[in-house]
Amino acid sequence: MPDTTVLTYGTFDLFHIGHLNLLQRLSDLGDRLIVGVSTDEFNAGKGKTSVVSYEDRAAIVGAIKGVDLVIPENSWDQKERDIREHDVDLFVMGDDWTGRFDDLRELCQVLYLPRTEGVSSTNIKQMLRALDPQHLAEMQEALGVMGRLLSHYQDLS
């Protein structure tokens, strides 16, 4: 039986369990797993800024058991070339991309897998932002106001 080569792409910023679950499932689907990691320049073009640099995101993904090769993702239209170049049998993305890459079915199988619910790099970034000093100061001030209000009502009662 010839080897099955699987290909996927992603930013993989603030690597989390959703990313890990996906890569482990992809590794089980084939014999060789290739992962295209979006470069910082490509992400800038998508209006996205990663917390973790491309070099570090690629190193983290490359260290995941089951990942055989990491390639840089520099453009939207490189997928066709990558599929031909690496003789890909199966192209897979999370289902937040459902239908977006059906045109690649001319070249290989295309699959969309259910995402892991409840975790995303965007959510983690929002939580981190809420912890920045300015937000903390605002929260403290709001709590201060609440505290004074409560003691005022206690005095009234």
Could you list the active site residues?
Answer: 46, 48
For residue 102, give every residue at least 6 positions away whose Cβ sits within 8 Å of its Cβ, in sequence order, or none: 110
Q: How far is the CB of 104 from ligand C2G (least distance, A)?
A: 11
Stretch (H or E) spanning 93: strand 90-94
Q: CA angle 103-19-113, nearest 5°?
A: 40
Residue with Cβ nearer ligand C2G (70 or 93): 93
| Other beta carbons within 10 Å of 83 | 21
Residue with Cβ nearer ligand C2G (9 or 54): 9
Give me the amino acid identity at 118. Answer: G
Q: How far is the CB of 74 from ligand C2G (least distance, A)?
A: 10
Residue with Cβ nearer ligand C2G (109 or 120): 120
Q: How far is the CB of 71 from ligand C2G (least distance, A)?
A: 11
What is the binding site for ligand C2G (CB under 6 A)?
9-12, 18-19, 22, 38, 73, 93-94, 96, 115-116, 119-121
For residue 150, give every residue at least 6 positions away whose Cβ sits within 8 Å of its Cβ, in sequence order, or none: none
